Every structure is written in structure tokens, then in C-alpha cells.
Amino acid sequence: MIDTDVRDTVGLVWEKGTTIMTSDVIDPLFEESEHQVEVALALYRLVYPDWDNIESIDGWPKAGVEVSAYLMQKFITFDRKHHGHKLYGDVRDRGVMPGGLWLSKGFSTIGTEHLLPWEVERAPAVYKKEPA
């Protein structure tokens, strides 16, 4: 159960460079997307509202324990639904490992003890010299 005070801050980027992501914010991204990369990009845009002005990110954002587990399960389910005919291990096509994109490009779970369960902390970003 998520504290109602925390729900009031969902999607806001706090001064310390973190944001709260809950199922209320996450689920529509999966429902409205056709491919896993669309969901991943939308999640990064939530963490970095100035995404279009970023050249690169040093590392990965860090995710609290609950949001991390929730996102991993959502990506696995999404891949099974949208790419079931190409799942890794299928002798016909070794194209998709369920949750594989998020496993390699998603948020980190290392050093997240200081985060709230549904909190995501930004990694340092390098900004473009000319804004988009």
C-alpha cells in the first residue's frame, strides 16, 4: 500500500533528483505502447522531464525495491503478450528474452537502500550545448 502523501507527488521531480512512480503512472505506458522501447523511453522521460536536451546519461537511474520489481514484471508480461512468437528459447526464432530490454537498459537496483519503495533517482546527465 502506498502512502497517500506519496501519491500526491507521483510524477513530480523532487529537488533531490528523484521522482515517485506508481502503477497509476506506469500501467498506461504499457497499455498505450506497441513496443517495449516505447515504454522504456516514456519511463526515462518521466525521470528526466528535459529528456530532449540530454546528450547522455552517466550510468542508470536507481529504482526503489517496489517500483523495480513492478517494472520488471510488467516488461516480462508485455514481451510475452507482444512478442510471444519470438521468445528466447523458441526454436523458431531466438529473438526476444522476456524483460530483456529492461534488464539491460532499465533502472539500476544497486545502492538503492536510501530510496523509498516507489522512488526513482536520476543518474547524472550530460546536457546538449544547444537545447532542442
Give 60-117 pLDDT, tens digit per residue: 999 999 999 999 999 999 988 887 655 555 545 556 778 889 999 999 999 999 999 9
CB neighbour class for 87 (10 Å; exposed up to 12, middle 13-18, buried from 19): middle
Predicted local distance difference test score (pLDDT) of residue 55: 94
pLDDT score at 99: 87
In a domain, 126, yes or no: no
pLDDT above 50: residue 34: yes
> Phi-psi region for residue 82, left (φ > 0), alpha (ψ -120 to 50) or beta?
alpha
- Cβ neighbours, 10 Å, residue 105: 13
Residue 109 lies in a domain: yes
Residue 125 domain flag: no
Residue 128 located in a structural domain: no
Whether 58 is covered by a domain: the verdict is yes
Domain count, the chain: 1
Q: What percent of the chain has pLDDT over 70?
A: 77
Show the domain range for 40: 4-119
Identify whether 51 is part of a domain.
yes
How confident is the prediction for the chain on average, in pLDDT? 83
